[in-house]
Amino acid sequence: MASMSEISTRIVAQTETLSTFATLRFSGDRLEPESITAIIGTPPTRAYRKGETYRTGPSGQTAKGRTGVWYLSTQRAVTSQTLADHLDHLVNVISPRGGSDHVPALRDLIARDRLEADVSCFWYGTAGATPPDIPEGIRKAIERLGATIETDFDTD
């Protein structure tokens, strides 16, 4: 059960946060999207091979992949206004609680196909709002994958 302090922190985060989400991305010229999906068992938000044409949105406009990308965004999957909840969702994708750990297989694939893995954190708050912290446990779980963490924090 959450403590009063944790609940208070979350309420402040919700009122000061206008938008937050996190993304997990694998990329590389040799990336085969199906290989990532087969390990993780979760479909990506968008994925394409190098040189492949992909749709950028509902209008049907297309772009050509400069490199291969497998990309999962929490923007629509997680409704919480707390960044940690979005990151927790991604950690649960790569290492499901109560399920098999996908990190060793992902690390093998990253090394074999010379891929890059990174996680981004987007947060936008009201004027004067304090940007969120990334919990240490989540940071370690992401780093265990060999992924870098990027932050994009801004306020009105």
Which x/- pattern, by CB under 8 A, does the window 44-63 give for other proteins? -xx---------xxxx-xxx
- Cα separation, 62 vs 64, in Å, equals 7
Task: State yes or no: residue 73 binds other proteins (CB under 8 A).
Answer: yes
- Cα separation, 100 vs 90, in Å, equals 15
Task: State yes or no: residue 9 binds other proteins (CB under 8 A).
Answer: no
Least distance between other proteins and beta carbon 23 (Å): 5
Distance of CA 119 to the CA centre of its chain: 5
Which x/- pattern, by CB under 8 A, does the window 97-126 give for other proteins? -----------------------x-x-x--
Taking the least distance from each CB to other proteins, the nearer of 42 and 67 is 67
User: Which residues in 9-29 are b (16+ Cβ under 10 Å) and which e?
Assistant: bbeebeebbeebbbbbbbbbe
Contact present, 121 and 83 (Cβ < 8 Å): yes
- Cα separation, 68 vs 9, in Å, equals 39
Least distance between other proteins and beta carbon 154 (Å): 6
Which x/- pattern, by CB under 8 A, does the window 15-44 give for other proteins? ---xx-x-x-x-x-----------------
Taking the least distance from each CB to other proteins, the nearer of 76 and 97 is 76
- Cα separation, 38 vs 36, in Å, equals 5
Contact present, 50 and 26 (Cβ < 8 Å): no
Taking the least distance from each CB to other proteins, the nearer of 21 and 95 is 21
Q: Which residues bind other proteins (CB under 8 A)?
A: 18-19, 21, 23, 25, 27, 45-46, 56-59, 61-67, 69, 71, 73, 75-76, 120, 122, 124, 150, 152, 154, 156
